[in-house]
Amino acid sequence: MTLKSQFISLPNVITLMRIVVIPVFVTALIYQKYDYALALFAFAGISDLLDGLLARMTNQKTSLGAFLDPLADKFLLLTSFILFSVYGWVPTWLTITVISRDLIVTLGWLLLYLTSHTTGVAPTITGKAAIASQLLLIAYILLAINLPSLPDEAPLTAMLIVAALTIASGFQYVFRGLTYSEK
Of 106, 176, 162, 175, the closest CA to residue 130 belongs to 162
Cα(52)–Cα(167) distance, integer angstroms: 26
Domain boundaries, the chain: 1-87, 90-183
The answer, as to whether pTM is greater than 0.85, is: yes
C-alpha distances in Å from residue 105, one per residue of 19, 43, 86, 159: 21, 27, 24, 21
pLDDT score of 152? 65
The predicted-structure confidence for 137-175, as pLDDT tens digits, reads as follows 999 999 999 998 887 667 899 999 999 999 999 999 888
The predicted-structure confidence for 47-61, as pLDDT tens digits, reads as follows 988 888 888 888 888
pLDDT at residue 3 is higher than 60: no
Cα(182)–Cα(130) distance, integer angstroms: 26
Q: What angle do CA 1, 53, 174 make, to 5 degrees?
A: 85
Cα(49)–Cα(135) distance, integer angstroms: 13
